[in-house]
Each structure stands twice: as structure tokens, then as C-alpha cells.
Structure 1
Amino acid sequence: MSPPLRLVLCAVLVSCTSLWSACAPSNELAPPGESPDTPNEGACQVDQDCPAPGLFFCDTVTSRCLAACRTQEDCTSARRGQYRLSQCDTNPLGCRCDNNRCVEALCSADAECEGSGKVCRNGRCAQAPEASAVRACRVAPDYVVGRKGTSVRFSVLAVDAAGRAVMVPSGATWTAVDASVQGGGEGVSSSFVLSAATEEAQASVQARVGSATCTARVRVLGAVTPGRLRAVVTDEQTGRPLPGAVVVAADALGAVTASARTDASGVATLAEPTGAGSISVFHRDFDFLTVAYAGSGGLEEPRHLALPLRRNPTDRYGGYKGTFRNMPTGLDMHTGLAGLSWPDGVTDPSASLLMGPTRRVTFTTLGGQTREATVPAGAYVVLPGTTLKVTDVSAQGLAGVCDATLAGVENPEAEMALGACGTRTAWALGGDIPLKSLPLLSSETMDVGQLLAQTLPVLRTFSSSVVRDVGFRLKVTPGAGTGAPDFSDQSHFVEVDHDFAADQRMELAFPFAIRVPALPRYLGEWMDSVAVLGVARVPERGVVPLGMGMAVNTTPADPNTDQQAGLPGPGLVLVRMAPAHHGLEGSPYELIVTASSSAAENDTDAATTGLASSVLIHRTLEKLPFDPKGSTPLVVSRPFLPVPEGLRLEGRQLRLEPPPESPPLPAMTVLRAVFSNRAQHRWVVLMDVASAENGLRLPIPPASVEEPTGRFEDRTYAGDHTGSRSPLGLQALALRRMGRPEGAALALRGLLEADGVDLAQLGALTVAWSSLNPTSP
């Protein structure tokens, strides 16, 4: 899980627990079910209060009788007789036995509905949507710059007359519009080969769904003159070229040997370095990027470099705001978390941007006391019986693509060039947390890992809500350059509500266990927690959360997570997910498995440690399993990457000097170092292990007429009055073609070449990564 999102989840669950603890007037807690004055059909205290022992049980959390089961057969009408469950009889998939209760079975892929001649939509087997329902479509990516001979895969996103996402099983009819590309066919996606060089981008790939057509623009790059190097600089999130960026080649001592400015098509051509050194790109509105480069003395050196840049994350901000509608109305705590999809699970955006502004809320407890609490912007929290009602949520998103359907956008290309618009998927996970499951806090401190592990199992009551296509405007952030960005004005946020009505929400109906490998070490100890985020990766929209799981490791001498209740042994983590729904169908499922260490939180001298984590990305799920007892767990066989330790900046030289006890990183590991100054402007440096151990010297930022000082800012410095260095974080990445273990391993050299498998697909190509981020400058 990306660290910022994990921080948000921790904040919400900790907030819920601390809020409940603050609300409890004494050790005499209010019952979590209906109050004594409220009649409650099916209310119970013990199993004997329910009809037909064996067919019902008393849920002591909700104090209600629920349909009981030990096996799936216990949910059938043949077994239940007069207590048959209509929803199990009418559903083609029947019911399942989930945690000893009968629940309606859902589907997660079209293949599960093949016998009925239907497809899986919104978790149910239903008639396939007709192509005639589509009124508009979009090709993703819709703008490509690539080298001749490159294969590029395009996908289609379609909407109906009301603008709702619609997934047509047959997909689109794909056509090559001109001779610059070759390809075609049928389906939701199709590959084309860039076959003939063009001077500029032109509409070359067309998709037709019903009566709707959409195109992608393609520019095909020809050969490069021998002895010259061509750098293609683009906006990572839109694929559009970046004119005016300065590309610099430097030798091993950091001295500039060649430089050029990108033209209107984002291309700069310069003399190719003859020896080892670096290539850097500078643009004031985007991350600076430096890559280690071996020069023409190496074998099979690329002549085209793909150098996508990500926009400064907090210079502009925007997103959506709204509420949760049709939430439960019982006496339990109603809560949830909302957000916007992010580009990938590797290059994390700013934590402050994802979390947005926190808010102080004042409320009256069950005992009549006035209390205050801090709640994240995306959190929804309502506790009946108190005045605690935080019902407005908001979320921020990164700039990206948009079109003229977004209100106020007349020229989408101009807005995208400014970073003033974006389109993401709005998501929310919400439901009830029974008060009996929330522990009271006995002190100001708590073990967050234990708290999460104790609270997350109740997510069986949670549901998912998504709105696939949410376009929004971004405006200049007040205070963006001061280190204190002000996100409080949300007048430009688009209005989007999450509907949790029974026919709109999607239950986290797929519980299953995954077996994680031995946890990695940090500072001589095994890492102490594992978080699993279940997501769908949607073309052009990014990563959309659909569920989660959590486990802890409380035994320092043991590399496995503790055994969880209901699972057969240690090392297993229970996950709950909703199926892809409301236009996400067909998007691949992924599990992002994050092992992390609390060493920095427990260190009295935080400067000596850092925030350490190691992540595995599991991409082999064709459909979601249903296995609440963990009888046949998913196995994540790839080992965690070691934590990258020992990176130092001495003068202008970055050097990796890992401690002797640190496990070695594999030779083909790509290292990604990130400086982030107080304005959250970043300088990203990519190296392989060998160049990092030898040392890579950063060039001095070049001249720039746009900057007040006449030179690009040196982002290795924080930009404060004391001249301190910027915090420096480091990631180690294992990359494979197709983003799967069976794909060929990718080294840094292959990642830079503009052949369609490059830095723009970094998140999709990464199968494992680890990081060490600073807790202080």
C-alpha cells in the first residue's frame, strides 16, 4: 500500500476508536444494538432467542438473529425448509457461507456467468450492455510519442447518454486511420505498431463502440543521426510533449558536456555522451529528473530516451466534495473513507495532497461532555446518540487529462498544458463499525498495528462505492511556495456523492487469505506489520481501492505475521474485497502487499532511523476467490526486497554505502532517489546498483530565464533560510515486462529506451519495491 494511503487509513480508524473512547461516559457502555425503547424484530441476546437452532445464531455484535451456516449447503432451500432464504433461491449463483452466515453470492468476472449466457456487472450476472447504449468513448492513452517499431496497447472507456460508465463486453472495433500505425481488431483493448515516422502527432488510432467513435493521436519518431541522442520529454499523466524543458548531459564529475531545450513536440537532440555520466531534465513546473547514463561506450545504448516528468504535486489543487448518502441508520458508528484514484502504487504523490486538510470537530459525548477531535478530509463519521456528525467529505487528485464535457473547459489541450484539470475515479469504503468491536483507549499512546488488526475484521459490514469518471478543475494553491499550502477553499471542487443504497453499493463480499513470504528486516528486527490493499487498475484513471486486509507480527524472532482468528496458521492475512463494479469491470485486479516497520515511531532519536517498507504487487488474479477460512490461500511467492540503506549525498555526489549487515540488492534493481524541498518540489534520480555504489554526481541546475535567480532552483536544498538539505528518500524497484514475475527482468537501460516499455509505465512494470524515507530533513 502506498504510505500516504496507509496513513489515511490509520488516521480514520484511530479517529474512530479515539472518538468512541471519548464518547463513552464510563465503563457502562451503551449497547450497540437498538435501545431498550425501540422494538427490534429478530433481536436476541443468546442463540436460544432465535428460531430453529442450527439455522440461526445470535450475532452478539449487532444483537440480531442471522441465518447461520457451517457449509454452503446450509444456505439452500432443501436444508432450510420453511426458513429458506429468497435471495439465495433467486440468485443464479446462490448463496455462500461467509463467517458462519448465509450471504448472497456475487461474481467478480464474466467467466463466472458463462453458464447463464450473461456477464458480470455490478457483482451480479446480468444481460450484457448493448453497444447501442454507448454515446461517447475515449481511447487511453489518447496521445502517444514513440519510436518506430514500438508496439503500443490502447484501451477504450465508454459512457452512456447520462454520462455513466458502461462496459460493453465486445469492446470496440479498432482501426488504423493512416499508415503511421499498423493494427486493428475487436475488443476492449488492441495493440498497434508504430510503423512510419511522422513530423507531428495525428489522429492515427480509432475505436468505434456502437455509434460512438474516438481516436488517439500518435507521433512516430524516426532514426537518430549517429553520435546524437534524442530525448523525448512528456507530461507523465497526459502523454503530451513538454516544450521548453532543458535537457543536460553531464560527465562523471557532473560537468555539463551538452545541453538542449525541447521543441514544441517535446524533443531535444544533443551530442551523445561518450563516457559514463548522467542525463537530466529540468522544468520549473515538474519534477527534475536525472538518470545514470553509460554513454556510447556501452553496448546497445539507446538513442531515444523516454523521459516523462510528473507535475509538482501541490502547485495546484482540485478534486471533489460531497457526502455519503443512504448510509445505515442503526446505533452503531457509521463511518468510511473517500478518495480519488492515483496513478500508480510506486511513485507516491504528496501525502498532504492525498489527505487534504484535516478539520477540528467539536461534539458532545454520550455523557454530555464537550470534546474535540481531528478528522481527515475524506473521513465520514456519525455516532448516534452524540452530536458527532462529520458527513461532508472531500478528496484531492492529480492533474491529468480532461475533455470539453468538464464545466468551464472550452480548450482541454490548453487546460492540460497548465495542469488545470484532471479526471480520476472517486472511490469510497463505508459502513458500520459495531461499537463492541472498538477498544477503549487506556492512554494517550496506542499500538496502531494492533488497533488496525483488531478493527479491520469488522469490514465485513463495509461496502464499496465508485464513480469511474470524475473530472475536476485545479487552481493555483495559495502558499504553495512557502511550505504551507492552503487547501481550505473548495469552491472549485466538483460535487460528487457516494450512494450506499442497496442497489448502488457493492459489498466487500470476497474474503480470502494470502500467504505472504518471510518479512524483511530493518535495523536487525523483522518488520512488524503487513497491510494489503486490493485494487483495480483502470486505464487512464489509475489505481482504485476495492478492499483491504491487515496483519501484525508481535514476535521479534519470527519473520511471519501472527495467526489471525479463523485462519489455519501464521503468515496468512485475511483480505476483503468488492468486485470491480460500475464501469470498472474488465480492469485487472491487483494486491499491493506492504510490509512496514514501526522502528522510526519507537525510536527516541528519529534522526537515526527512517520510515521503512517493502512492497509486493500481485497481478495474477483473473477473478476474486471466496475463501473465508483460508483453506487454499493465494501464495505470494516472490520475496520482499531488502530495505535500501546507506544512501548519502556528499557535496553533489550520491553514493550508496549499505551497512555491512544489510542484505544486498539484486544487481538489476533500479534505485529511485527523491529530494523534496519545503515547497514539495522534487528532484528524482534514477540509478542502477552499480552506478549508485560507484557514486553519481548531480549537475548544477542550468540557467533559466523563467527563474528570478536566473537559474533553476537547486532542489537538493530545502529552500529555507538556514540552507539545509532537502529530505532524501530512496526506493529500490524490481521491474519486469508485463508487470508479472514471468516477464523478462528490466534494468535501468531498458526502462529508458522509448520503445513503449519505459518510465511512463513504471507503476505497471514494477513487481516489488522497497523504500526508506526520512522522518526529518
Structure 2
Amino acid sequence: MGAGGGVVGRRGIALAVVVAATLGCDENREIRRDPERRGRCDLGGFSSCRQSTDCGPGASCFEGCCLSACGATADCDAAPGCDGFGCVCDQGACIPVSCSAAEECEEGQACVGGVCVGPGAVEARFCRLSPPWATLRAGDEMRYAVAAFDAEGRRIVPTPAFRLESPDARRAIVDGDRVTGGPESGRVEIVAKVGAASCAAEVLSLGQKDPDRVRVVAIDALSRLPVEGARVQVEGDPSPALATTDARGEASLERGALPARRTVSVFHEDHTYVTLVDVEADDLLVPLLPNPDGPLAGGFSGAFRSELFEASRLNFGLAGASFPGNLLDLDVFVLVGPVERVEIDIGGARSADVSAGLVIGLGNTWFKERYRVEALPGACEDREASASGRCGFRTAWGLAGGIPLEDVPFDAIQSGGEVEAGRLLAQLLPHVRRLRSAVVPSLPIEFAPRVDGRPDWAALPTLDLEASTRLSLRVDLALPPLPSELVDGAVAVAGARVLGEGVVPLGLTGAVADEETRELVDAVRDRRGVLDLRFAPQHGGIEGSDYVVYAIAVNLEGLSGGLPCTPDERSGCTPISGLVAAAQSLPWGTVVDLSSPGFLGLADRALFDPATRRLDIGGEVEGATLMRVEILSRGRGWLVYFPSGLDGVTLPVPAETSDRLEEPSVSLQAMDADLDLDALLGPGGEDLSDFTLRARRFSAIDVPRPAPSR
């Protein structure tokens, strides 16, 4: 399931349980108390410390390092370690920082891995244009990205300037890095010129539609290729109107025979169903995601390389693959992998369900040393492989390192070994600022048949990530009080939105809310409503992407599971509420203010009855403009979109395809978007496959069935 699918809690508890089991023995408490067994400073060239008196005159202890003391940033101009991009004075110490984007560098320079560099002289010998395939109606817009490579096949960073060309402006119109569908139909090759190198991509232009017809276009949301054979169903009285998409992904119905406002469904057995309620648009682009339980699985496995893994530290890391599409669709199963059972034997055997993307250990003892990462398919130069979900490019990412044991929150582990898992997790996350980031862009994803429903890791490649880039940027993230008693904390992430590949996390933190005011309390700076969020600059080849910052309010207390999801008890219904912001640059100390208009409320009175196919909202979600129901039934999905003003929806009965209401799990998601459903379906630059930045607020909660009548 996506954001509201009841999976988040099981992943969140994994880290907390393993940490508690690891630290709950006497030996590790002794390591924490013994200063001779603690770790060193993580910044090269600086002495280690526990307090400023360890550092001598003119120095201050900051995160275990003796740095030059300061009262203002101007005091840091000649400080040791500040001869790169420079330092800022923060908490009385001169802290080395990085650039976040080229606009912070001198004219003509680029920000590469957090350092300002001059233009390179490397000649591009070949390149790759992304996306390789696109299906565009007249007026649809697609943004393109180029990866350039030298004669040895090394990626050139920063990416050299490129120029797009279209041989036929009647089918595809070029403007900078964007291509707009023209009025005439047909295929056209878009060519990118990077110096002497060139690369191409194909656009299928569908042109303008017949004004007397309603056109429905089905495309694969990940490859952007047309989906042939999808059944289009428009509800009517006494029976629905039906059509089937052709090889161009198009289905056409007579406009005069349909209601003015319609419920339109697109059904294809290999894809998640989509139903659109109360729409008026007569030219609909409907992206279809693959079913969650597809027969193929892609990804990689490996082990981190990090100089921060030490004997006196809690060593851990998290690896994943970039996530395309809407943040609302963020599936933790895909983000950090399926659950694995890990045995921990410290003073007694224990076990925990841990995400496959997580590694964790103490010193030289690893409880789980290798990560396993699932990745979604996309598109490649092979059209058949793209259409069947057997290829794609994603950015591999990781955060790894060691946290000194003295910084681990032991007070979250109660006497007797009981774990306050959510609070332990929230108190541990701020220390992720000590980790290092790893990024490998445009990784070709290989796919293999699943074995017993799981990825066949033996058939998938190995990738060992080197986590070496410091989290040298910081934003002050201003957040509003939590929206409901059903949530009691938040997790925040800063990352890059890599064009064509998805969101890449570069840093994260967390906080617990005050029980009375619901204000989030920052554990790093002991302040309310503003979190210290550390992250790495864009590096490894993703430079030039937009930054994205998102915060998700969650039920930390319920992370351990076991809470029911019933009409009378919604704490176990995986409630979340998210806020999103984007920026081209985020220099150190930037204030990202998401405090207004506040978190979106939860549809916490909704009920779904599979017998009647009816979802009752139970009351309007204030501020929401668009709603979505996400259904998962035996590994197959169904998404239903509708305007927020409706009091409920009744799901249509598929006329010629299988139903998807057998033992369903249901999530109801609300969005505050600045585009309505008709605008997202019509021609333009956004569609249902990725409108995250047009829906800056969202919420989700699992929906129980009505209580049985007595």
C-alpha cells in the first residue's frame, strides 16, 4: 500500500526494536559510560572532545569535535577547516558548510558535491536522453534531462549544456528542456545535442481530439508508453458505456451519449485500476501504475563502506532506490525493502522484523550487515523491455555511519526491557546528522522473476555503497502543531527530486510533540515548532536537481503495532499528515516555513463496506480539494479519485474485468492541491502520475469496515 497502507509503522518499529535490543545489555551500557571507548571526531583534522573544556582556549566542542569558537560568522574567516566553501558560526563554533546550488557560487561556477568548481573541459562523447519514451496529446508538456559521458564512460558532472531539436513542430514543439505535444498525430524523434555528442528519444504525438468525442488515453505511469487493451468504462443508465484502448493507448466515446459529469474507469489486469468520479473533462490522460504484486522484481543488494563504523558506536545505515511519482504514493515496502527477520543474541536471543534496506550492528558485531533494495521499473532504450516493466534507471542512495553510544537515548528504554519504540525512534533520528550520504545516479535496474512472492536476490546485482559525503547543510524547518490526537510525532526528510528518476533522500530527522500543545519539540536545539534538519548537498551526479523537503506527522506510540483499526479506535489505522516544499537551493540556515496553513486533517470517521461497495467519508476534511481511495486486494490495486465536496462514493462494478474487492485493505487520502481533477486529467505539464508539488498538503488513514449490526 501507499502512504496510508498500514506499512509505515512496521518499518518504523524495526529500527527502534533492534536499537533497544542492542543497547539493553550491561556490556553496552559500560561502553557508553567509558570515555576511553567512545568514538572519535567525525571531521578530519580536528581533535575529539566531550565538552568545550577538552579543547583548550579559542575552541568549542561541537558534536564531538574541537572547532574554532566564534560569536559571529565573520569570526570564522580564517578558522581552520574553513578554506573550502567556508564556515558559519552556529552554537558558538565555526562549522564547515557546503554550497547547495550554483547560484551560491561565483559566476560561471557550478556547485558539485557541495564545492564550487569552474567549468570543466571534458568533452562529451555520448549521452542519454530521458525519458526515452513519451506519449503526448496536443498541449501536453514533458521535461527532459540529459546524462553526458566521457570517452571512458564516466558521467560528466556538472551536466554540460544541451540543446533539444524536433524535426516536426506540428507533432512536437521544443522550448528549452521541454517538449510540448503538437496538433498533429504521429511519431517524432527528439534529439539532444551535447557538444559533438547526440542522443535521441521518441515522442508519440496523439494530436488534437475530435471535438464531438470524449477521448481517454491510458499510459504506463513509469515508462510513459501507451497501454493497449485497457477497458474504459463510463457509468450510465441503464448500463455503462464501454471502449478499449488501441495500440496508441486511445479509446474514444461519443460525447453526446455520455452524462455531462461522468464517472470514468480504466481497467487493465496488469495495472492498478483507476476510477475518476464526477469529471467533466473530455480529453483524459490516465497514467496506470503496475500492480504491487507484479511477477518481476528489480533491485540490488550490498554492504556499506563507511569510515564512521567503529567499535564504540551504534553502526547503522539505510539504503534505497529513488522513488518516482507522488509522495502520497510513497510505499515504504519499495523505499526500504521488504521485512526480514533478524536474530539478535546479546545477553539472550531476541528477534526483530527489520526492513531489508537497513543495516545495523555494534562495533565489529553486525546483526544485519547487508541491505537489499527493491526498485520500481521505468524506461530504457529497449521499447519492449520498457513496456513490460523489465528495465529502468533509478538513483541508488544510502545514509550510513556510526552514532556514539553516549548520544543514544537510553531513557526511551524502560526498566525491564520495555521499549517506547516510537519515542526511541524519534529521539534517535536527530543523530542521523552524524551519518554520511551515498548516491549512485542512473543505475540500470535489472529484473528477475519473484520466488515465492519475494525478489530473487541471488539473480539481482550487487552494489556496495560508499557513504562519504557529509551532511553539511542545514535548514530550520518550521512546522505547525499536529492536526489530531491520533498523531504524536513527525519525521522530516530533505532530498533531491531527480528528473526522470524520483526523490532521493539526503538527510532526515524526527521529533515528538508536546502532549498538551501538540507542538513538535526539537531534540537538537531544545526548541518548539522548528526542527534542525541536516542533509547532504546534491552530489555524485544528481547536481542541478530541485530540492524537496517533506514532513510527515505519524502515530509514534502506535509504531509497535497491535492497535486495532476499528470504527471506535482509529489509532491503529496508520494516520499520517504530510507537508511538502521544493526549492532550487537550500543554503545553510535557510528557514523552510511550513507552519501555515497547517497540517491537513484526517478523514478519521470514514467507513467502507465491501458488500455495498460504498465509502462514506463521515465528514469533510477541512482544506482538502481532492480525495483518493487506495484499495489493495490480493496484491492488486485500485485508485479512486473524487472531489472533496462529496459525502461518499460507490465503486463501479467492472463490466468485463475482474473485481478487486476481495479481502480489501482501504486507505482514504486527502490532498490540498491547486489543480482540480479535471485540470490534472486535461492537457498540460502535470498529470495524476506526479503532482506532488501541486499538492503541498496531504493526509491518509486506513478505513475500517462498519461495525456488525446486532
- Give the structure-2-normalised TM-score: 0.88
* Cα shift at 1:768: 1.5
1:518 equivalenced with 2:485 (yes/no): no
What's 1:352 paired with?
333
How far does residue 22 in structure 1 lie from its aligned partner after superposition?
Answer: 3.9
Task: Work out whether 1:577 is the aligned partner of 2:535.
Answer: yes
* Residue among 436, 457, 476 paired with 2:406: 436
Q: Which residue of structure 1 aligns with residue 300 of structure 2?
A: 320
Q: Is the 8 A contact 1:510 1:577 kept in 2?
A: yes
Q: 1:201 aligns with which of 145, 163, 187?
A: 187
Q: Which has the higher contact order (CA 8 A, sep 6+)?
A: 2
- What is the correspondence of 1:129-168 to structure 2 with a 5 Å cutoff? 129-130=120-121, 132-168=122-158
Taking the aligned partners of 1:775 and 1:336, their CA distance within structure 2 comes to 35
Q: Deviation at 1:533? A: 1.0
Displacement after TM superposition at 1:105 (Å): 2.4
Structure 2 CA distance, aligned partners of 1:37 and 1:422? 41
Measure, in 1, the Cα distance between the counterparts of 2:359 and 2:694.
34
Letter aligned with residue 581 of structure 1 = H
Task: Mark the CA change 1:147 to 1:437 in structure 2 (over 3 Å): closer, same or farther.
Answer: same
Distance 1:379 1:149, change over 3 A: closer
Question: Pairwise CA RMSD of aligned residues?
Answer: 3.2
1:414 maps to 384
Counterpart amino acid of residue 202 in structure 2: R
Please, which of 28, 38, 58 is the counterpart of residue 54 of structure 1? 58
* 1:771 maps onto 2:700 in alignment: yes
| Greater mean deviation of Cα atoms: 749-758 or 307-316 | 749-758
Query: Using the alignment, how far apart are the partners of 1:674 and 1:761 within structure 2?
Result: 16
Please, which moves more after superposition, 434-443 or 506-515? 434-443
Amino acid at match of 2:120: P
Q: Distance in 2 between matches of 1:393 and 1:237?
A: 25
1:681-700 equivalences under 5 Å are 681-690=636-645, 692-693=646-647, 695-700=648-653
Q: 2:373 matched to which residue of 1?
A: 395
Distance change (3 Å), C-alpha of 1:550 and 1:277: same
> In the alignment, which residue of structure 1 is the partner of 2:506?
546
Equivalent-residue separation in structure 2 for 1:223 and 1:652 (angstroms): 40
Q: Please report how far the alpha carbon of residue 540 of structure 1 lies from its aligned counterpart in structure 2 after TM superposition.
A: 0.9
One of 255, 268, 274 as aligned partner of 1:289 = 274
Residue 752 and residue 184 in structure 1: after superposition, are their counterparts in 2 closer, same or farther (change >3 A)? closer
CA distance in structure 1 between the aligned counterparts of 2:695 and 2:578, rounded to whole angstroms: 10
Match 2:110 to one of 115, 119, 124: 119
Q: Which one of 617, 626, 632 corresponds to residue 676 of structure 1?
A: 632
Aligned counterparts, 1:593-604, within 5 A: 593-598=551-556
Q: Of residues 169, 173, 176 in structure 2, which corresponds to 1:179?
A: 169
CA contact (8 A) 2:273 2:288 kept: yes
1:473–1:492 contact (8 Å) kept in structure 2: no
What is the deviation of 1:290? 0.8
CA distance in 2, matches of 1:399, 1:41: 44
2:89 aligned with 1:97? yes
Q: Give the Cα–Cα distance (whole angstroms) in 1 for the partners of residues 159 and 445 of structure 2.
A: 28
Cα contact 2:134–2:202 (8 A) shared by 1: yes
Deviations 1:654-687 (A, max 9, x none): 343424xx65344xx111101111x321111111
**Is 2:418 the counterpart of 1:451?**
no
Quick check: 1:490 aligned with 2:457?
yes
The residue that corresponds to 1:624 in the other structure is: 586
Report if aligned partners of 1:55, 1:74 keep a CA contact under 8 Å in 2: no
Is the 2:171–2:187 Cα contact (8 Å) retained in structure 1?
A: no
Is 2:663 aligned against 1:757?
Answer: no
Distance in 2 of aligned mates of 1:37 and 1:564: 21
**What does residue 468 of structure 1 align with?**
441
The equivalent residue for 1:731 is 669
- CA drift of 1:318 comes to 1.5
1:547-576 alpha-carbon deviations (Å, 9 max, x no partner): 1122221323x1422354525x42111211
Q: Which residue of 2 aligns with 1:740?
A: none
Specify whether residues 751 and 75 from structure 1 end up closer, same or farther in structure 2 by C-alpha distance, changes over 3 A only. Answer: same
Q: Please give the alpha-carbon distance, in whole angstroms, between the structure 1 residues aligned to 2:669 and 2:398.
A: 29
Amino acid at match of 1:383: L
3-state SS in 1 of match to 2:423: helix
Contact 1:55–1:67 (CA under 8 A) maintained in structure 2 = yes
Q: Equivalent residue for 1:742?
A: none
Matched AA of 1:263:
D
Letter paired with 1:450 = R
Q: Tell me, what secondary structure is at the counterpart of 2:475?
A: strand
Distance in structure 1 (CA, Å) of the matches to 2:653 and 2:231:
13
Structure 1 pair 495–270 and aligned structure 2 pair: CA distance change class (3 A): same
**Correspondence for 1:21:** 23
| Residues 70 and 435 of structure 1: CA distance in aligned 2, closer, same or farther (over 3 Å) | farther
Write the distance in 2 (CA, Å) between the matches of 1:766 and 1:71. Answer: 39
- Number of the residue aligned with 2:316: 335
Conservation of the 8 A alpha-carbon contact between 2:232 and 2:243 = yes
Query: Partner residue of 1:529?
Result: 489
Change (3 A) 1:495 1:150: same
Cα distance in 2 for partners of 1:664, 1:47 equals: 50
Q: Provide the C-alpha distance between the structure 2 equivalents of 1:575 and 1:53, rounded to a whole number of angstroms.
A: 30
CA distance 1:625–1:217, shift in 2 (3 Å)? same
Distance in 2, matches of 1:149 and 1:45, equals 61
CA 1:528 to 1:162, structure 2 compared with 1: closer, same or farther past 3 Å?
A: farther
Match of 1:264 in 2: 247
1:180–1:220 contact (8 Å) kept in structure 2: no
The question of whether the paired residues in 1 share the 8 Å contact of 2:158 and 2:541 is answered with: no
Alpha-carbon distance in structure 1 between the residues aligned to 2:39 and 2:558: 50
Does the 8 Å contact 2:15/2:354 carry over to 1? no
The TM-score with structure 1 as length reference comes to 0.81
Number of equivalences:
687
The residue type paired with residue 282 of structure 2 is: R
Which amino acid counterpart does residue 460 of structure 2 have in structure 1? Answer: F
Q: Would you say the 8 A contact 1:21–1:439 is kept in 2?
A: no
Structural mapping, 1:74-93, within 5 Å: 74-77=75-78, 85=80, 87-89=81-83, 91=84, 93=85
Check if 1:309 corresponds to 2:265.
no
Change (3 A) 1:140 1:763: farther
Closer/same/farther in 2, CA of residues 337 and 464 from structure 1, 3 Å limit: same
For the 8 Å contact 1:665–1:689, the answer to whether it is kept is no
Equivalents in 2 of 1:142, 1:98: separation in Å? 46
Would you say the 8 A contact 2:13–2:421 is kept in 1? no
Specify the code of the residue in structure 2 equivalent to 1:176: S
Give, in angstroms, the shift of residue 362 of structure 1. Answer: 4.2
Unaligned runs of 5+ in 2: none
